[in-house]
Amino acid sequence: MAAPPTHAGQPYLPVPRAARRLRDGTEHVMSHELVFYDGHCGLCHHSIRFLLARDRDGALFRYAPLFGETFEAQVPDEAREGLADSLVVLRYDGVLLQRASGVFQLLWRLGGFWGVVGMVGSWLPSRLTDWGYDRVAEVRHQLFKRPAESCPLVPEELRSRFLP
């Protein structure tokens, strides 16, 4: 599957090949996109549930806490500076996306109607879409209640999709 059109003016952050090596030195070959999320955010929690419901067979995404073990292993220190504190996507080709471009990538990967929404969104100026993303991110904790548990219990059949 080809990558969606570049989000207008959005600088993609490629993760160096060496950074995709795990701590034990083995290289991680990504077949899924990694979605790093804020586990204390109600909106992020709802977003992950939205993706899980549409990626029924688990072919598209894997999920891990933002700044958790997987994030630390996959994202080099220099790429972490200035990252959003809500949602970050590590594409299967090693490109790191955040803010609106990350959301548009996830929607595009879902395909169908959501894929069209993601593609159209990626054509809009990133300055505008990131401004909107930032406004929602500022009030997300007031709009969406924090999950009762910071890491709600994941059903057995979905556990393989969540990384530490």
Q: Of the ranges 2-16, 21-35, 68-82, which one carries the lowest mean pLDDT score?
A: 2-16
Evaluate the CA torsion angle 74, 24, 151, 77 in order and state its sign. Answer: negative
Residue 52: what residue type?
L
pLDDT at 63: 94
What burial class does residue 154 get, using C-beta atoms within 10 Å of its C-beta: 0-12 exposed, 13-18 middle, 19+ buried? middle
pTM of the model: 0.77
pLDDT at 153: 65
Q: How many CA atoms lie within 13 A of 95 on its CB side?
A: 13
The more confident residue out of 102 and 13 is: 102
Q: Of the ranges 23-27, 58-62, 110-114, which one carries the lowest mean pLDDT score?
A: 23-27
Phi, psi at 35, each rounded to 5°? -110, 110
User: What is residue 64's three-state secondary structure?
Assistant: strand
pLDDT at 151: 55
Residue 143 above 90 pLDDT?
Answer: no
Q: What is the token pair recorded at 159?
A: 């556990």
User: What would the mean pLDDT of 106-129 be, rounded to a whole number?
Assistant: 94
Residues in contact with 7: Cβ distance below 8 Å, sequence separation at least 6, in sequence order? 100, 101, 104, 121, 122, 126, 129
pLDDT band at 149 (very low <50, low <70, confident <90, very high): low
User: What would the mean pLDDT of 102-119 be, rounded to a whole number?
Assistant: 94
